[in-house]
């Protein structure tokens, strides 16, 4: 069996790394945009829970859990450890039926972690 291996010259390798870096930055920007939407929704759900404005509290908690789960995994993939950890804490609190004040505090922490990303990245 013959195996043919093409070697990349320095310029081609550099171009490939640049393209990869550009793709990662595009994905990161898309994540931050979607994460911002999810954070906004989580804050709105928390406001409704706090004010008792939700007739379907379990559905609201389920939506919060889904948002937190999604953020926990993806934020970690992009290196946003604080956001990932806080989202995971929120998800765990909902799954273990924590009291509403704890859940509200964890949503606030998740929002803060997201805002810290924006401040550190000068978004």
Per-domain residue ranges of the chain: 32-121
Whole-prediction pTM: 0.80
| Alpha-carbon gap, residue 47 to 74, rounded angstroms | 24
pLDDT in tens, 69-89: 999 999 999 999 999 999 999
Position with higher pLDDT, 15 vs 21: 21
What confidence score (pLDDT) does residue 122 get?
Answer: 44
φ, ψ (nearest 5 deg) of residue 5: -120, 120
More confident residue, 96 or 51: 96
Pick the CATH number of 32-121 from 1.10.10, 1.20.120, 2.30.320, 3.40.50: 1.20.120
Percent over 70 (pLDDT), the chain: 84
Residue 97's pLDDT is 93
From CA 46, how far away is CA 59, in angstroms rounded? 12
Q: Which long-range contacts (CB under 8 A, 24 or more apart) does 14-23 make?
A: none
């Amino acid at each position: 069996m013959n195996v043919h291996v093409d070697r990349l010259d320095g310029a081609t390798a550099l171009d490939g790394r640049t393209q990869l870096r550009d793709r990662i930055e595009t994905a990161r920007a898309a994540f931050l945009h979607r994460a911002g939407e999810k954070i906004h929704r989580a804050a709105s759900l928390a406001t409704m829970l706090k004010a008792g404005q939700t007739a379907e509290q379990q559905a609201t908690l389920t939506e919060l859990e889904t948002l937190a789960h999604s953020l926990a995994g993806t934020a970690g993939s992009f290196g946003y450890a604080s956001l990932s950890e806080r989202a995971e804490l929120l998800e765990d609190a909902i799954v273990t039926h924590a009291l509403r004040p704890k859940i509200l505090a964890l949503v606030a922490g998740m929002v803060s972690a997201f805002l810290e990303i924006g401040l550190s990245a000068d978004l």
